[in-house]
Structure 1
Amino acid sequence: MTVQRESSTLPWVWRTGAAFLLLNALITFETLWPGPWVRPGLRLSFELCLGVLVLMAFVAWRGRAPGPRALATLAAGYTVLVLMRYADVTAPAVFGRDVNLYWDGPHVVEVLRLAAQSLGWLPVVGALLALALGLGLVWLLSRWALGQLAHSLLWHRPRPWLLAVGLGLSASWTVHPHVPQDTRWFFSLPVSPTLARQAALLPAAWSTQTTETRLSPSPAFDTDVMRLRGAPVLLLFAEAYGATTFDHPQHREALAPAREALADALAASGRHVVSARYRSPTFGGSSWLAHGALLTGVDTHNPRDHDLLLTSRRPHLVQHFARHGYRTVGWMPGLQRPWPEGRYWGYERYADADGVGYTGPHFGYWRIPDQAAMALLHTQELATEGPARFVVFPTVTSHAPFRPVAPLRDDWTGLLQPTAYRDDELQAALAEPVSWTRPTEAYLQSMRYTLGWLASYLRDHAPDDLLTLVVGDHQPIASVTGPNASWDVPVHIISRDAALLQRFEAAGFTAGLEPSPHSLGPLHALTPLLLSAFDGCGGQAACLSAGLAVEPGEDVAGGRVVR
């Protein structure tokens, strides 16, 4: 084929520019937070820039543009990129996490089924047709733009300039990690890493051998929980409760009165507490990594390992307690979106923001204040008859940006009503300033609230035999902790059973709310200790060989502690 020559630069610029801008717009849009809608992104696609260089090399080598079949195939691939881009930017807004095709793919079918039940099949079919037409339109536009771009590149005169620009852009991307300046600010986040993660996750998730090889070993869940004597267990993941509350002088001083009040409340209720610090697998966010680490005893500091874990059949504490007769409850007032991966945990009852029964006013984005969530949990689960409960409750009020914070209530029964908070209290809380650059005062306020309602509950309402595990999931954001903060979090074990707490002291915990300044290890190392401490051991010798303390005058026989 003879290479055509442009009679003028202007048509070439129009054709090339229009095709490039269209292709760039299709793959650089951003989410209109929060929700499924998007807006144009005024940045360049690095992948498209590289693609232009590859297309230019092909045209220069073959002396012709790709044929119709090749263009159709390229357009189909580009449509997949556009679809993946949409999933990549909207999943955090809709699900609160990155896209995960393993979980989200099957969940799409469930969402369609539920939508059909509530709206009827006609709107659902209409939405699917609209989606198909939209993807078809993207394919047509991509095919046209790629064809125009390919034919424009037949003109050899601008190629050196395009090559120079492409190499310059590539260089700015490559040198970014090695220079102090931000040389990528004009680029949109690429889609290829997301595709690569999904391509690596799906085969690994479907391969038992890969899962077992990649994940760290699980503890042996071959013990019992008879040492607890049927006591209910509340595993409280305290949001953003980090070691900075002890290590930072300002934070420590500000929270000292609240901690003293908590200590007094424990003493008044006949409870004891031992504390330690462990290293969280995450910092400033991604709480689910800490939840997964403690519940399974598997190292989850790599988010990919956590995703892989939820596709496995690894044992965990929820399953362990259920196997020994406990009713397991996932109390998740912070979850306001579908949670398909939650099926891995297998809670007998899973209650999200819509399922806990809160009818009071919404306090900001997280809606449900922790004290109200705890009041509902107590009424519906911990104060009822039946099997002992094992409850996992991640709090949310102390989640960044740490406001609004509801007022503390002495009347816990009032928290069950629609009038739980007065309108002036709600408006005052909503009027409190929120700052991502200076959030320390808000953080300390939220932590005082957390320690305050916990003290009130344990002093006045909690079941006498309740075992409470307060575990910080991660440190707060760096604008609170300051530079070079550790990843340590406090862990408090609270119970009236002093002999049980001695087992934790033998493993390095200290009496009181003040943990040792030295970490006892990664958070997933706490899991085997919990398993051993809760186990009846089958005899005093077995307990001692496991490194667990047995109170003088106490013996263990037949899986039960006897005096």
Structure 2
Amino acid sequence: MPSTLSTLRLQEFLRLPAEAVMVAVVLLSLPRRARLVVSAVLGALLGALTVLNMLDMGYNDYLGRRFNIVLDWGLLADAQSYLKDSLGGTVTLALTVGVVVVVILLLVLMALALVRLGNLLDRHRARATRATLLVGTAWITCTALGLEVGGVPVAAEHTAGVVKFQVETVRQTLHDEAAFRKEAGQDTFGNTPADQLVPDLRGKDMIFTFIESYGRSAIEDPIMAPGVDRTLADSTAALAKAGFHAKSGWLTSATYGGSSWLGHSTTLSGLWVDNQQRYRTVMSSDHLSLTKAFKKTGAWDTVGVMPGVQKAWPEQKYYGLDKVYNAFQMGYQGPKFSWSTMPDQYALEAFQRLEHSQQRDKPLMSEIILTSSHQPWAPIPKMVDWDTIGDGSVFEGIEKAGNNPADIIADSTRSREEYGKSVQYSVTALTQWLERYGTDDTVLVFLGDHQPIARVSGNHASRDVPISIVAKDPKVLDRIADWNWTDGLRPAHNAPVWKMNLFRDRFLTAYGSTPHPSGS
């Protein structure tokens, strides 16, 4: 079996596997009892590798990478939660039971099948030996001549390749843990005194906002781009009318299709956090996050708005947030929109009501995660009059009239169309909030955390996401003039592209922070 859905074709199965020849040689050389044991073990192993291939297909399609057998088991629980939110508990339970049954059947039936084949080889030992020699010779010949069927080599050693890849992945994963822990212990701004951190932003209300799945594809894909580009152009004009101006560029995300927290932590830590092990290392470290730098100064109050968080969130400490509002702490009484617990417009209005509008002795630094553009992009909220939002009940009719998630998940074209609409909604909600509530001292930094899944962005899409800085004070944007970012909310195709982990240091430097390394 191939490791991607796009290569799941008939010709992949019209091949001579070298592993089968080697297994036949081994089984023919063993006595009966040993043969039965070896057959059962190899059969079960083949079943496990089949399951692994299926996981690879799913992970490649959704996350743009293969399954990591050391780190990725925990994500299966997240996948189950996503299905429950998108398709309902009954369907998710049925799918979960079905998956478990299929896995057990694969392991058991593969083992029984190989035991049976081993017995057949033994019963017809002479003919089996000749056939094995003949197939082995054919495999060597096909390899030497490079014979192909439909562009696929006839001679295969895919299973051995899968095993080799996973063994190497395990080795690299274990080695990476120690190397990355050392890297996280070094920080360009780790010992910077409080009064030397972001001095050029003192007095500003800072807002760092991540828009779920807001990727380059939303701006440049021919199906999605027209609507999104129109929204960005209209929003740029509306903000300019309100006195705000923007500059935009591209960041290459550390994740793809999901695992948003890896994108958030990469942006804010200045470290390349592309797996769960690295994430845990960073969260338990003293490496200075960009948001914590504002707290360290003592010149800002800090708050997080996290509508996607529905359980304990110890990361609050790492990000230096005095207070965090999760999905249950913003007073929302309306319907969920599939995975998203509330519309972005409500989350922003709640932020305004609970924090941004409050009188305080210090400016406010906020981290906000907007979730309405999270897959499966159905149903999608619609904008309502800001004065009618209330407790969110106004969204009930919109949710009921929306698309069924199951209809969108199964249709690639509709997924792309609805994804584009969801990005338009999130950008509109954020920019309208800024028009309505932003002040002369408001500075907004907003970006995507990753590209949408391959079914939407394409099998060969980049990992780039847009990022914009918006402010009324011209001095704020003057500080990043040498970045050569594009004016407005839509980055040009040839605007600079940085790795996402580079943003923290460049932002701190641009706004006057003085490097004082730690851990070197």
Q: TM-score, normalised by structure 2?
A: 0.66
State the AA in 2 paired with 1:239: E
- Matched residue, 2:281: 311
- Matched residue, 1:397: 372
Over 3 Å counting, the alpha-carbon distance change for 1:407 and 1:139 in structure 2 is closer
Over 3 Å counting, the alpha-carbon distance change for 1:399 and 1:438 in structure 2 is same
Residue deviations 1:121-179 (CA, integer Å, cap 9, x gap): xxxxxxxxxxxxx9999999887766555444324123444676789899999999987
- Matched residue, 2:467: 491
Contact residue 18 and residue 136 of structure 2 kept, 8 A: yes
Over 3 Å counting, the alpha-carbon distance change for 1:254 and 1:95 in structure 2 is closer
- Matched residue, 1:119: none
Q: Distance in 1 between matches of 2:147 and 2:37?
A: 40
Contact residue 345 and residue 429 of structure 2 kept, 8 A: yes
- Matched residue, 1:373: 347
Answer with 488-497 or 143-152: which moved more: 143-152
- Matched residue, 1:407: 382
SS of residue matched to 1:311: helix
- Matched residue, 1:324: 297
Displacement of 1:266 in angstroms is 2.7
Q: Which of the numbers 470, 488, 501 marks the counterpart of 1:524? A: 501
- Matched residue, 1:126: none
Percent of residue pairs identical: 24
- Matched residue, 1:416: 391
Q: Distance in 1 between matches of 2:331 and 2:211?
A: 21
SS of residue matched to 1:409: coil
SS of residue matched to 1:360: coil
Contact residue 283 and residue 476 of structure 1 kept, 8 A: no
Displacement of 1:528 in angstroms is 1.7
Over 3 Å counting, the alpha-carbon distance change for 1:168 and 1:199 in structure 2 is farther
- Correspondence list, 1:156-195, <5 A: 156=125, 157-161=127-131, 181=151, 192=163, 195=166
Over 3 Å counting, the alpha-carbon distance change for 1:411 and 1:69 in structure 2 is same
Q: Which stretches in structure 1 are left out of the alignment for 5+ residues?
A: 1-26, 29-41, 110-133, 539-563
State the AA in 2 paired with 1:369: P
Q: Distance in 2 between matches of 1:273 and 1:191?
A: 51
Give the root-mean-square deviation of aligned CA atoms: 5.9
Displacement of 1:471 in angstroms is 1.4
SS of residue matched to 2:25: helix
SS of residue matched to 2:381: coil
Contact residue 376 and residue 416 of structure 1 kept, 8 A: no
State the AA in 1 paired with 2:28: A
SS of residue matched to 2:446: strand
SS of residue matched to 1:468: strand
Displacement of 1:243 in angstroms is 4.7
State the AA in 2 paired with 1:532: T
Q: Distance in 2 between matches of 1:362 and 1:93?
A: 26
Over 3 Å counting, the alpha-carbon distance change for 1:219 and 1:55 in structure 2 is same
State the AA in 2 paired with 1:414: I
Contact residue 217 and residue 298 of structure 1 kept, 8 A: no
- Matched residue, 2:198: 225
Displacement of 1:268 in angstroms is 5.2
Q: Distance in 2 between matches of 1:105 and 1:249?
A: 36
Residue deviations 1:56-98 (CA, integer Å, cap 9, x gap): 3223334555278878977997898799789879999999997
Say which one has the larger Rg: 1
SS of residue matched to 2:257: coil
Q: Distance in 1 between matches of 2:197 and 2:239?
A: 28
Q: Which of the numbers 533, 553, 561 marks the counterpart of 2:510? A: 533
Q: Which of the numbers 157, 180, 203 marks the counterpart of 2:174? A: 203
SS of residue matched to 1:333: coil
Displacement of 1:224 in angstroms is 1.0
Q: Which of the numbers 46, 57, 70 marks the counterpart of 2:25? A: 57
Over 3 Å counting, the alpha-carbon distance change for 1:164 and 1:537 in structure 2 is same
- Correspondence list, 1:228-243, <5 A: 228-229=201-202, 231-243=204-216
Contact residue 216 and residue 299 of structure 1 kept, 8 A: no
Displacement of 1:449 in angstroms is 1.7
State the AA in 1 paired with 2:402: A
Contact residue 363 and residue 405 of structure 1 kept, 8 A: yes
Contact residue 63 and residue 453 of structure 2 kept, 8 A: no
Q: Distance in 1 between matches of 2:116 and 2:374?
A: 49
Residue deviations 1:440-488 (CA, integer Å, cap 9, x gap): 5434433332232123211223466332112134455677778987655
Residue deviations 1:410-457 (CA, integer Å, cap 9, x gap): 23562534x13142x223222697441255543443333223212321
Over 3 Å counting, the alpha-carbon distance change for 1:535 and 1:287 in structure 2 is farther
Q: Which of the numbers 403, 420, 427 marks the counterpart of 1:430? A: 403
Over 3 Å counting, the alpha-carbon distance change for 1:515 and 1:140 in structure 2 is closer
Q: Which stretches in structure 2 are left out of the alignment for 5+ residues?
A: 3-9, 78-101, 516-520
Looking at both structures, which has the greater relative contact order when contacts are Cα pairs under 8 Å and sequence separation is at least 6?
Answer: 2
State the AA in 1 paired with 2:483: A
SS of residue matched to 1:518: coil
For this pair of structures, how many residues does the alignment match? 474
Contact residue 216 and residue 298 of structure 1 kept, 8 A: no
Over 3 Å counting, the alpha-carbon distance change for 1:51 and 1:495 in structure 2 is same
Over 3 Å counting, the alpha-carbon distance change for 1:192 and 1:493 in structure 2 is same
Q: Distance in 2 between matches of 1:360 and 1:510?
A: 38
Over 3 Å counting, the alpha-carbon distance change for 1:505 and 1:108 in structure 2 is closer
Q: Which of the numbers 257, 264, 281 marks the counterpart of 2:253? A: 281
Displacement of 1:504 in angstroms is 1.3
Q: Distance in 1 between matches of 2:371 and 2:485?
A: 26
- Correspondence list, 1:70-85, <5 A: none
Q: Say whether 1:505 aligns with 2:481.
A: yes
State the AA in 2 paired with 1:360: G
